[in-house]
Every structure is written in structure tokens, then in C-alpha cells.
Chains A and B, each alone.
Chain A
């Protein structure tokens, strides 16, 4: 099932749960009446914690109800305010002939979440030289999850969604204030969506393709089988350090070969196999301009940039 949060048109409309189907969105709120007073994040956390009980009534609604056309609803981020967002660092091989690297993650600001159709606002800091997109598969946690062994990883996974780990850069593709990771925590720097695909629909999360377009130009285009440390290992690593709760998110890292700048007025889309496509916009009050296209600088891992540098 592909679970979303949505709003009907008009001002002051409540946010409620829905299921994405081929024909449109099915309103799931008849099965979750008690959630109406909950904030949106608490609604989705409750669904995560009670999904097995809710599943049959959700499936019945999907079978019986006429879907609402997508162009008449507004999708909201399926996790508007996760308790924590953990993000993997450099977790893809990217065609490199190198030694394995230890798995590591950082924390991203959970108040930075935006959703489908929302706008990334670049900060009025002129210190970062560029702002880039990193399209990523994200794991949605079912908790509490503490010290979960790799072999038990499925117990801690409720489903999957997409995230763009928007990143301010200090030099090259190094994150601004290197080592602090604050360059990834500006407000609006965590687009999440369009939905959560439950784990039963994705047998192996390390087989999915991830794509990202900027004004229609393809930037990221990779498969999650290139991940160095795979989903079971991510679950063990994170839960050995901190307790994860339902609705927490682990972003699996990006393949940096398709990095590129985000700049004023652009329309971007992320799509992940079996999850779906989400559009976001970019606004820069300073109207800065960068060379359009995939980043090919001195530390780019893009194959074309590597060939130009004389690397194999």
C-alpha cells in the first residue's frame, strides 16, 4: 500500500491519510476517525503502529471507494515532522575502485521537511558557494527499535519513501561547515514524499531505481544495488547508537554522479521505483545563478568528469 497525507482544496482543510492508487487518491479517514484531532505526523505514526489492524479496513476502502483525481487534492509530506532524520554519508560505490569505507551517518533537521509541490528556499547566506540536490531512498522506521541485529532488520522497517537531501556546499562538493553537517539542515532542505510504500511491496530495497530531474533534465539516475552498506546494515548501525521511533527516517545516501545545483525558479522531480514521483520548486531570494547541468568539478564522481580528468 502507498500511504500518503493529503488535503482537499480550499483554505483550512484538515490533513488526513490517503492511499495512492493508479486512478487517484482514496481517502482513508473513514477508517481512522479517531485521528482527526492528531497533528499530521502523529496520524502517520499511529498508522505505522497499528497498520496490521488497519490493513483490512484500508484495503476495503481502496476496493470500494471511487478514487479522488490527483489534480483535485494536495499531497502533503507523508512524514511532516519525523522525530529524527538520519542520513548516510557517501554510501554508494559510484564506479570507484577504492577500499571499503566505514558506514557513517549524520542528523538532519527534522523541522526542515517539505512535501509535494512545496518550495525549497535557499538561505540568504552567501558563504556556501552552491546548493545541490541529493536524491535518496529513505527508510521509514517502525519503532521502538534499539539494537536491532542485521538479520532482524525487517522488524524495524515500516516502509520506504523518497527524500532530497538538499545540501549547501563550502568547497567543491564538501558540505558547508564541514563536519558539522549544518549545511544540510537549513529550513526547507528536506523534501519528503510523495508517499510511504509499505515494506510488503518492496521485497528488496536494494534493487530500486532512483531518478531526479531539474527542469526536465535528468540528473540522478542510479539503482540502489550500488549501495555500499545495505539497508539491513543501516538498521543495525543506527539502532546500536540511538533508539529509533516510529516515523523516524533513515536516508540511505545518494549516488553523487548526478549532483547538480538548485537555483531560483526551477521545478525538480524525484522518482523512485515502486514509490512514485514528487515535484518540488526552488526559490532564491538572492537570484544567484550557477552553470546549469550536472556538477563536473574537480571532486565530481561523474564518469564524464572522471574521463576529462584522465581517470579511467
Chain B
């Protein structure tokens, strides 16, 4: 099933290009927030499923194009991310690396990433598969890891790149730097997440385009590693990392779209009050630097004069 939040945070299911309202099946409790509603849905999914299926079979839908979608996980308890987690097409495999991203950064589908005035070298898109956690997960073994995932969504880990002298640690945590959506595709819809393919375009220009089976530490290994450090909770997001081949700048006035087969397509806009400019193309220097192990992405970039 593909779960969405829409209009005034109603819960819906996607049926082709229609949204079927299942808010009445979910029955939100008093005092609930959109996030607690989704967390409740995740925790109680097995008991809600029959009602959901009934609505999909018989319920009337409205065209997807007629509703306002929200991020399907509007205020996750945590966003954890893997870094440097892909083979970059050449079988790279570094040590396991993770970090936290601000949960306040979540952006709705169709929303606008606002670039901050901070003196960055460049702001990159990192298109990623995102796991939406389904259970309290601590010390999860690889063999059981996928069972702790409720579903998957598309995410862009928008990343500011700063000169080393700035020592900026919040480069990925500015407000609006986490577009996610358009839906949560439940685990049953994604039997093999490593078979998925991730693509991103900026104003129709192809940028990232990579298979999930390029991942260096599998999704199972990543979950095992992360849950040996901290406990993941239902509704937490796990950004699984990106393949940097194809990364490029996000800049004022642009429209970007990420698509993962089997999940859907998510669009967002970009605004930069400072109107900085970078070459509108794949940042090949950064892609090469990461692939060849010569340095981090964005180290050689600067805004155009």
C-alpha cells in the first residue's frame, strides 16, 4: 500500500492516480498530531489493514492532482543517515559512517528548499532511498533488519558544502533541507529494496541515476550498525546514503524531481534570496573526487562571480 498525508493532514491511500481517504479507518485520537497519527498507523498497521483494503476495493477516490500532499512523515523523532555508503559504480567500500539530520528540516512535496545566506561552496542534491522505521529497533541483527522497516519513501539529503575553515557541522540540517515523499510504500510493496533505482532531475536535466544495488553496506548491514549505536523508533527516518555520480547544484528558481520506481516521484522548488549561481550541470569535479577518493564533495566548488 502507498500511504499519503493530504489536505488538512488526512490519511490517504494511493490507487493509481487517485487518493482514497482512509482517515475514518485510522480514527485519530484526541490531541493527536499529524506525526503521532502516522506513528499510530505504523504501529497498528496489521489491525488497520483490512479496513484499508476495503477502502481501496470499494471507496471512492479523488484525483491525486487535486490534493495538496504533505510529507508522509511530517515530524520524525529522528532522521539518521548513512554517509559515503555507495560503491560509486567502482565498488568503493569505506568504513561505516552515519550522522543525524535535523528532523525540523522535513519539507512537503511541492515545497521550497530555501538556501541560507551562509557562505557555502555549493548546495548539492543527494537523492536517496529512505527507510521509514516500523518497530523499536535496537541491536537488530542483519537477518532481521528488513523486518524493522515499515516502508520506504524518496528523500533528498540537501547538503551545503562549506570551506573547511568554517567547520560547519550543520551543513545538512538547515530548515527545508529534507524533502521527502510522495508516499510511504509499505514493505509489502517493496520486497527487494536493493532492486530499486533512484533518479533525480533538475528542470528536466538528468542528474543522479543509480541502482540501489550499488550500495556498499547493504540496507541490512546499515540497520544493524546504526541500531548498535542507538535505538530507532516507529516513524524515524533512515536516509540510506547516495551515489555521488550525478550530484549537482541546487539554485534559485529551479524545480527538482526525484523518482524511485515502485515508490513514486517527488518534486520540490529551490529559492535562494542571494541568487548565487553555479554551472547548471552535474558537478563532475565532486563526483570524481568522491569516486577516486580524492576528497569530499564540493571542496573545489564556489559560486560563480
Contacts and interface: CB of A to CB of B under 8 A. Distances in A.
Interface residues of A, number: 34
Contact of B173 (A124, A177, A241): A241
A107 B138 contact: no
Contacts of A104: 167-170
B99 A181 contact: yes
A241 B138 contact: no
Contact of B116 (A125, A181, A240): A240
Nearest to B226: A182
Contacts of B31: 37-38
Interface stretch (A3-11, A15-23, A109-117, A273-281): A109-117
A186 B168 contact: no
A108 B174 CA distance: 16
B105 A187 contact: no
A110 B169 contact: no
Interface string A196-211: 0000000000000000
A266 B248 CA distance: 50
A121 to B, nearest CB: 11
Contacts of A124: 228
Given A106-B169, A111-B77, A182 B104 contact: no
A123 interface: yes
Contacts of A186: 229-230
B151 interface: no
A238 to B, nearest CB: 8
A91 interface: no
A241 B78 contact: no
A111 B231 contact: yes
Contact of A107 (B77, B97, B102, B233): B102
A180 B174 contact: no
B83 interface: yes
A240 to B, nearest CB: 7
A186 B230 CA distance: 5
* Interface core residue of B78, B105, B170 (most chain A CB under 10 Å): B170
A-B CB proximity, top 8 nearest: A107-B100, A106-B169, A242-B102, A241-B170, A180-B99, A109-B230, A104-B167, A242-B104
Given A107-B173, A180-B98, 14 more contacts: A83-B103, A84-B102, A104-B169, A105-B169, A106-B169, A106-B170, A107-B100, A109-B100, A111-B233, A124-B228, A186-B229, A187-B229, A242-B105, A244-B104
18 contacts: A83-B103, A84-B103, A89-B169, A102-B166, A108-B100, A109-B100, A123-B228, A123-B229, A181-B100, A181-B169, A182-B98, A185-B100, A185-B229, A185-B230, A241-B116, A241-B170, A242-B102, A242-B170
